[in-house]
Structure 1
Amino acid sequence: MSEYKATYLVVGGGIAGVTCVESLAILHPEESLIILTASSLIKNVSNVSFYAKTIVKFDVHDTEATSLHKIHPNLNIVYDSLKHLDTTNKVAVTESGIQINYNLVCICTGGIPRLISDSRKCKRILGIRDTESVQEFQEKLKNGRKMVIVGNGGIASEIVHATRGIQKIWVIRDDYISATFVDPGAAEFLQDTLKSNIEKNDSPVLRRHIFSEEDTLVSLNKNLKSAALGPDWYRKLENTRNETGEQELEIIYKVEVESVIEREDTEFPLDVKLSNGKTVQCDFVISATGVEPAVSFTWDIEPKFGKDGGLAVNELQQTSIKDVFAAGDVACASWEHAPHWFQLRLWTQARQMGSMAAKAMHSKITNEEVLQDFCFELFTHCTNLFGYRVVLLGKYNGQGLDQNYEILLRMTRGHEYIKFVLKDGRLQGAILIGETDLEEMCENLILDQIDLTLFGDDILNPDIDIDDYFD
């Protein structure tokens, strides 16, 4: 039986785990460190760009785990899965029986796809989550004629946008597309990219609406979670049948999949029965309905879990068990959140949590004080949807605003969509789609809570450079 010993043990080779390892290598290079990963491929961040203090865009790609030796020569890599965690004796046992003695451990096991029913007995139902599943999807695309996409988050949206030459039926339980991230107005703006009749040089439209959180158009479905694939993952898709570039797409709103049945005597091998009574046929189904925290190992002491099934962590990413930390999709942010921050299971937050966990673990060993990172003051997410840059800030859909609030919109078809959420004249959140160059200004306005009442609708007047007011 193999046995290892290290000051720090990090479990998981995703963004949270790798960020934690990289941060510990910088903070405490003289201490021993082990990463336990089930795959020889790990997720790595590159091309990090800052649009503002907290707004970060980066690329995610797969790389060999051995590349981590470049930043930490004393790092040990154990290729296995965690089976049992003995937190009393501080021993981690892997599936193959390897024992790892540690001082501090950080659990970064990520999430597992929340697949639709019948997925276990039907190989034609694919859950898109990691590199291997994307490769399997590519194989299906080569000969597929018709597919059903289930889900309404970033992954489903980009599959619809990036694939050509195949019939697509997009099944969503909401009444507009991309509801995980955007509101109905932004969804309509993005949906224009699926059409070929966008008229250029439209004049900007400025509108003011007042909604309450109960309004179905702007309320957030708090049960929705983002899936865990990184920015620009869809560029891996290579559909060589993209000759016309046309979209063959049908969107079915406000329905869910009830069952998937395999057939042998029909044109298409799958019958997908929907909750509206309709049955559609296809070659395969893509299930992109989010993730669940992956806690598949056993414990000697049961930790506290959050409402979403993740390991409950405080502001320093500590679990309820001494010397056990957690970060990324497996963690549930159970501290009292800043007014403009909330948790969504995104690569952005996995990276933030992994870095925070490393700082807290280092301070625990060195007996130094550490404060929560500033990035947890404001929810930010930068991604791409339907070919547009999308930046989400603060309470971009009015999340948690119990009283009435105002929404200010500016939209130019095919160019930009800007939405401000204001309460008592102060900016609470924003959606920025396109090259708006308003990211830093919006960040400052939300964090500083400047009263904007005097500006009225001129905040988004396209003839006024509002940046000049806040330089």
Structure 2
Amino acid sequence: MHVVVIGSGIAGATCAESLAVAWRNQPEHRITLLSASPMLKTVANFHQLSRTLETFEIVERWLDDALQYPNLSIVHATVASVDTRAKSVLDTAGRRHAYDKLCVCAGARPNLIATAHPEHVIGIRDTESVKDLQARLGSARRVVVVGNGGIALELVHEVQFCDVVWAVRDEHIGTSFFDAGAATFFMSDVKLESAGMSENESTATLRHGLPEEPEETENGVAIFTPHTLQQRAAKAALASARAGVSDIPSSQAPPEPNQTAPAMEVYSGAALGPRWQDQARLHPIGERIDTPRRVVELSTSVSAVLSPAEFVAYRQQHPAIVHNDTDILDWPAIVVLSNNRVYGCDVVVSATGVVPCADFIGPEILRASDGGIAVNDQMQTNLPDVFAAGDVCTVQWPTSSHWFQLRLWTQARQMGAYAARCIQAAAKHELALLDFCFEAFAHVTRFFGFKVVLLGLYNAQGLAVGDYEVLLRVTRGHEYIKLVLANGCVQGAVLIGETDLEETFENLILNQLDVSAFKDMLLDPDVDVEDYFD
């Protein structure tokens, strides 16, 4: 049997290596990995922290040195098309690669801002784009970062030597990962100015996510019911209105209305792995700004990226726009936001999410509403002998009540490994048992220097208003702990800081133990909750 894996990212490399290891004593099984990049991303220093939580590092290796297995061949090739009837893959060099089983792990491409000046916009997705960013930031005086996902959060924290303007379409930062309260926790430690307000007003607005008066307080633990949370949302909207920004509804990951990915653009690199910024070395080459400013623009999006000449005409047609730059025309690029604020900058970083990248497969393959290749619980597509894993796919099976798909490197690794098991099972005309990692959402990362653990329905995803309550324990600058409770059981958790509570709350989520009788003890700092539920 010959298995062809498309993609050299975390999912593709994990899938190919897992197959090579499983079939190392079966020479009748061969694997070919097609990589559009000259480098392969492999997993190193893997640690299983708990039943669902894991950490690992990503190591880039040249194709010649990566994954040395006798039954695995790695070919540097960009896929042009797939003939699913003939079971062959055609690359751009004209070579055909026949397969018995195919696994598509092509990842996703940046959802770039649409502009007539792409030379001023860079999308952060792979190692090549990070190198481009390094070169551009070396002499930059001001950078505009657009987006509210993980890369945007990390980038805003890391860039310390030039002015940063952060354009966020939502009412608070990091909506994919945490709520307004957690965002406020970070804001108290990170010097981010809210545009258009004085320092005191800015601080008040940025802290609106943390309710001052919870509905109940038990042993120092704040309890917020949906009624309280609705009040918080209303206050947030009011604060945004007072700040002079529009009330734009937020959602997890829809594209910006003015954003699209160029149809003919080719992205050959694999997605960034965890802690990518540690290796990026985002240091200045030219003169360093002594007191750089970081300004966050909430509830806004990019309306236009203009040249100085274009801005002169634009300003005449749009007299409501506002800017504070006396030398606005001296900037290479001028960014106009939907709230009519304008910023000059040297470079625009587009970190606005990704679009699944599978244009080389025809319309015969079933796609989900987000453009991802639809897969069942065996990672199979609607086409015979065609599998998919990682960012390129969208799960379509009835998932666990505590798990959902979010395009993260953790899930890419898990899907790649599970797809390999499914391919092995299919080769024996069997079905693979669904991996335990799909029982509950679990992700560990770092934002703004803090360890962040997300478990289950950490933002009450899918829970109706009125059906859940929230427990909070906050120590400013140290920790932020949030539990989501419904039907007397823990449904999700956000743990920021070195809490050492992840395994305890993971078990409570998985076991669905009724904690109604002692919920006031769950976050009591004087109670050793780990031993209590051991």
| TM-score, normalised with respect to structure 1 | 0.92
Q: How far 1:298 moved relative to its partner?
A: 3.6
- How far, CA to CA, are the matches of 1:468 and 1:247 in structure 2? 46
Alpha-carbon spacing, 1:239–1:14, altered in 2? closer, same or farther (3 Å): closer
1:14 maps to what in 2? 9
2:209 maps to what in 1? none
1:314 maps to what in 2? 376
1:159 maps to what in 2? 155
Contact 2:306 2:335 in 1 (8 A): yes
In structure 1, runs of 5+ residues without a counterpart are 1-5, 199-203
Instruction: Select which of 403, 409, 422 maps to 1:347.
Output: 409
Instruction: Select which of 168, 171, 175 maps to 1:175.
Output: 171
Alpha-carbon spacing, 1:12–1:311, altered in 2? closer, same or farther (3 Å): same
- How far, CA to CA, are the matches of 1:182 and 1:308 in structure 2? 22
For the residue of structure 2 that corresponds to 1:193, the secondary structure is coil
- How far, CA to CA, are the matches of 1:284 and 1:422 in structure 2? 44
Deviation per residue, 1:405-424 (Å, 9 max, x gap) = 00000011111111000001
For the residue of structure 1 that corresponds to 2:99, the secondary structure is strand
Amino acid paired to 1:82: V
- How far, CA to CA, are the matches of 1:69 and 1:459 in structure 2? 45
- How far, CA to CA, are the matches of 1:423 and 1:136 in structure 2? 47
Amino acid paired to 2:454: L
- How far, CA to CA, are the matches of 1:174 and 1:408 in structure 2? 24
2:216 maps to what in 1? none
Is 2:465 aligned against 1:420? no
Alpha-carbon spacing, 1:220–1:278, altered in 2? closer, same or farther (3 Å): closer
Q: How far 1:397 moved relative to its partner?
A: 0.2
Q: How far 1:231 moved relative to its partner?
A: 1.0
In structure 2, runs of 5+ residues without a counterpart are 193-198, 204-218, 237-248, 256-269, 310-327
Alpha-carbon spacing, 1:214–1:462, altered in 2? closer, same or farther (3 Å): closer
1:233 maps to what in 2? 276
Is 2:36 aligned against 1:38? yes
Q: How far 1:277 moved relative to its partner?
A: 1.3
- How far, CA to CA, are the matches of 1:171 and 1:224 in structure 2? 16
1:255 maps to what in 2? 300
Deviation per residue, 1:250-276 (Å, 9 max, x gap) = 111100001101226922111111111
Of all paired residues, the percent bearing the same amino acid is 42
Alpha-carbon spacing, 1:60–1:193, altered in 2? closer, same or farther (3 Å): farther
Deviation per residue, 1:107-161 (Å, 9 max, x gap) = 000000001120x632110100000110111111110000100001111111110
- How far, CA to CA, are the matches of 2:504 and 2:412 in structure 1? 25
Q: How far 1:62 moved relative to its partner?
A: 1.5
Amino acid paired to 1:263: P
Amino acid paired to 1:128: I
Q: How far 1:464 moved relative to its partner?
A: 0.7
| TM-score, normalised with respect to structure 2 | 0.81
Contact 1:213 1:399 in 2 (8 A): no
1:448 maps to what in 2? 511
For the residue of structure 2 that corresponds to 1:22, the secondary structure is helix
Alpha-carbon spacing, 1:193–1:47, altered in 2? closer, same or farther (3 Å): farther
- Matched positions, count: 457
- How far, CA to CA, are the matches of 2:457 and 2:93 in structure 1? 45
- How far, CA to CA, are the matches of 1:212 and 1:43 in structure 2? 46
1:49 maps to what in 2? 47
Instruction: Select which of 214, 221, 239 maps to 1:206.
Output: 221
Deviation per residue, 1:5-48 (Å, 9 max, x gap) = x6110000000000001110121222111001111101111111
Is 2:360 aligned against 1:297? yes
Q: How far 1:430 moved relative to its partner?
A: 0.4
Give the stretch that moved more between structures: 429-438 or 26-35: 26-35
Amino acid paired to 2:294: L
- How far, CA to CA, are the matches of 2:10 and 2:400 in structure 1? 23
Q: CA RMSD in A?
A: 2.4
- How far, CA to CA, are the matches of 2:356 and 2:510 in structure 1? 30
Contact 2:459 2:492 in 1 (8 A): yes
Which of the pair is proportionally richer in strand?
A: 1
Contact 1:152 1:289 in 2 (8 A): yes
- How far, CA to CA, are the matches of 2:250 and 2:386 in structure 1? 32
